[in-house]
Structure 1
Amino acid sequence: MSTGPLPLQRASVRGTGLAFDTRGGLPRALLDGCFLLAVPRTFDPGPGITLCREFHRAPEDGSGATRRYRGFRALDGVYFDREHFQTEHVLIDGPGRLRHFPRELLAMTRQMDELTLLVLRCAMTDLGIAPRLWSEITGGAVDGHGTHWFAANHYRSERTQPGCAPHKDTGFVTVLYNEEPGLEASVDGAWVPVDPVPGYFVVNFGGAFELLTAALDRPVRALLHRVRQCTPASGGTDRFSFAAFANPPATGDLYQVRRDGSAAAVRSSADFLREFNERTWSDRHTDFGIARPVGAGGGGAS
């Protein structure tokens, strides 16, 4: 079942904060589990789009301009073929990007990383979480540590399968770039389109943030979402998307903030990620995001 597009709050970056178009926009976005964030004028999505179009191709088939974006299928722990879905993707952390990404693509991913951290800081401020706790309760993610994943997704239109599995993102904040429809959110038991809006990222909140705030008066919602089966229009190209994720470390603990302002560890990151991988993908990558053999992470596809 599907209804009309999901109405989302809109915001833009203003200095070191966020400016929402409507009063109370950030609290509403935290309740919704997502919002739209204006793409900064200095952001060029071109390198990310090229990666999505090329990563699954053999390097010998490309010209000099595209060859640097190919050959990722050979990287174990970075390339993932989701056998039950249309999506195949590159999922890679910061150190892996330093080894494998061209300079302009690396710069683009760093801009997206900065946006995830800006959103995370603004959200914790709005929720009244004391800044002295931020580093501990995010596993250092708010300071640029933790695991900062980047995902590039290609949806293989020749497959008559769902685009990607229904899931919640595992971490704190996801900043997603997409141009084609297909993304859907679960709202009151119905799948509702989250249509792309030109000039905007989609920002999602994830399971670690939901757990972190579950005991507060205003808990954050982690959005359950999926990508439906995608078929390009006549003469069109396959659907793509790319995203940056601010997540806690793959090992260590996940925390919960109490109403009195204190915080406590409530479960291990490894158990949380393993449960997510087994429940969501039902494939061979149960240690995906935990073992991280060549710089991979446990994000998702959208």
Structure 2
Amino acid sequence: MTAEPHSGAPLAGGGHAGAGTPAMVLQRARTAGSALVFDKPDGLPRSLADGCFRLAVPAGFDPSPGITLCREFHRPASDGPAALRSYRGFRELEGIYFDREHFQTEHLLVDGPDRALHFPPELCAMAEQMSALTRLVLRAVLDGLGVPGALWGRVTGGAAEGRGTHWFAANHYRSEHPRLGCAPHKDTGFVTVLYIEESGLEASVDGAWVPVDPLPGHFVVNFGGAFELLTAALPQPVRALTHRVRQCVRAPGVPDRFSFAAFANPPATGDLYRIGPDGAAHAVRSSEEFLREFNAETWSDGYTDFGIAEPAASRGGAR
């Protein structure tokens, strides 16, 4: 991992970093069909060691539905113009809306069936584009690590094949709350594809918090705990990145910080695996145990079923 100077200047919605704080320099990659192509020959192993990399936004990707959702989901559906009502009113949806009382963030966590039920078509399409990228990255990394394709379905709980759980999250950072933006944590799954436009994201590197600044035209991709567990015994293990969002300070006349992301995760029920030195896959713990432990240690709030509870779509939830 290398670093570059970070200006420390105030950024829209993102607060301040200390002047001269070194920012993390991430490897860069792009998609080419179903392949993941890095700018440098050693880009993949360096990314696995860093726990993250930058992925060029594919041609034709339009982030505006995701941006609109982040700006609007916390507002009442009855307010504002009719064109925005399908992006509002999500605070009323139990199991989809989460108020992180100890942090600035409030967010949505929505799986595929709930997206079809609650999202307008253009937002569903954008979320699926990002979800497809998580699957592409997951398969490319498994292939790059030499994991036989015959094992992919089993060891990812089907996530590499479009099953598992493919979450979409939208985050709004409430600058009026004088708290940390988001808890220090590792993501729980395999792959996260994150869209950001403002400073604020930080990674834990050698015991220090290092800025991960946005780069126009690129997602930030990071790896999660399930992938770290799966590859821990391999010669080139995947590092799950510990990250947070620092306290966000909103400049006058500038909207609050936002971000949105797609996740490729194992199912909430079933087992998590580790691939041994012999190439065999061994179940090591249950997904539910792993998720409940994560929820309790990370957020310290009442959402013990975060990422586990039965989705609202299957409960017959409605807007």
Q: TM-score range by the shorter chain?
A: over 0.9
| Cα distance in structure 2, aligned partners of 1:284 and 1:259 | 39
After TM superposition, the structure 1 = structure 2 runs for residues 190-205 of structure 1, keeping only pairs within 5 Å, are 190-205=208-223
Q: Match of 1:203, SS?
A: strand
Write the deviation string for residues 39-66 of structure 1: whole angstroms up to 9, x where unpaired: 0111000000000000000011121111
Q: Corresponding residue for 2:191?
A: 173
User: Are 1:227 and 2:245 an aligned pair?
Assistant: yes
TM-score (norm 1): 0.96
Report the CA distance between 1:291 and its aligned residue: 2.0
The separation in 2 between residues aligned to 1:63 and 1:277, in whole angstroms, is 37
Partner of 2:42: 24
CA contact (8 A) 1:77 1:295 kept: no
Note closer, same or farther for the CA distance 1:41–1:277 as it changes in structure 2 (3 Å cut): same
> Residue 119 of structure 1 aligns to a residue in which SS?
helix
| Residue matched to 2:130 | 112
**What is the CA–CA distance in structure 2 between the aligned matches of 1:258 and 1:295, rounded to whole Å?**
38
Give the letter aligned to residue 61 of structure 1.
D
Aligned partners of 1:51, 1:100: CA distance in 2, in Å? Answer: 12
In structure 1, what is the equivalent of residue 11 of structure 2?
A: none
State the shift of 1:261 in Å.
Answer: 1.2
1:236 equivalent in structure 2: 254
Taking the aligned partners of 1:150 and 1:292, their CA distance within structure 2 comes to 16
Q: 1:300 is matched with which residue?
A: none
Deviation of 1:234 after TM superposition, in Å, equals 2.7
Q: Which runs of 5+ in 2 are unaligned?
A: 1-16, 315-319
TM-score by length of 2: 0.91
1:293 to partner: Cα distance: 4.5
Residue 132 in 1 paired to residue 150 in 2?
A: yes
* Aligned-pair CA distance for 1:233: 2.2
Q: For residue 299 of structure 1, what is the aligned residue in structure 2?
A: none
The aligned amino acid for 1:184 is: E
State the Cα deviation string for residues 90-114 of structure 1 (Å, max 9, x = none): 1010011010000000000000010
Partner of 2:7: none
Identity rate, percent: 70
Which runs of 5 or more residues in structure 1 are unaligned? 297-302
Alignment pair present for 1:95 and 2:113: yes
8 A Cα contact 1:256 1:263, kept in partner: yes
Amino acid at match of 1:17: A
Aligned residues: 296
1:227-268 alpha-carbon deviations (Å, 9 max, x no partner): 000012232110000000000000000000112111010000
What is the RMSD of the two structures over their aligned residues, measured on CA atoms? 1.2
CA contact (8 A) 2:230 2:272 kept: yes
Match of 1:278, SS state, is helix
Which of 279, 282, 290 is equivalent to 1:272? 290
Structure 1's 12 and 75: CA in aligned 2 closer, same or farther, altered over 3 A? same
Question: Where has structure 1 moved over 6 Å in runs of 4 or more?
Answer: none
**Matched AA of 1:230:** C
**1:151 and 2:151 matched:** no
Contact 1:93 1:295 in 2 (8 A): no
8 Å contact from structure 2 (residues 117, 313) kept in 1: no
Of 56, 73, 80 in structure 2, the residue corresponding to residue 38 of structure 1 is 56
In terms of mean alpha carbon deviation, does 241-250 or 228-237 score higher?
Answer: 228-237
Partner AA of 2:194 in structure 1: L
Name the amino acid aligned to 2:199. Answer: P
User: What residue identity is the alignment partner of 2:27?
Assistant: Q
Q: Tell me if 1:12 matches 2:18.
A: no
Q: Deviations over 1:261-301 (max 9, x none)?
A: 110100000000000000000000012212234259xxxxx
Secondary structure at the residue paired with 2:29?
strand
Find the aligned partners of 1:76 and 1:223 in 2 and give their Cα distance. Answer: 29
Match of 2:93, as an amino acid? L
Q: Distance in 1 between matches of 2:93 and 2:293?
A: 24
Kept in 1: contact 2:104–2:182 (CA 8 A): yes
Task: Give the conservation status (yes or no) of the 8 Å contact 2:70–2:259.
Answer: yes
Q: Contact 1:4/1:192 (CA < 8 Å) preserved in 2?
A: yes
Report the 3-state secondary structure (helix = DSSP H, G, I; strand = E; otherwise coil) of the residue aligned with 2:37: strand
What is the one-letter code of the residue matched to 2:145?
Answer: L
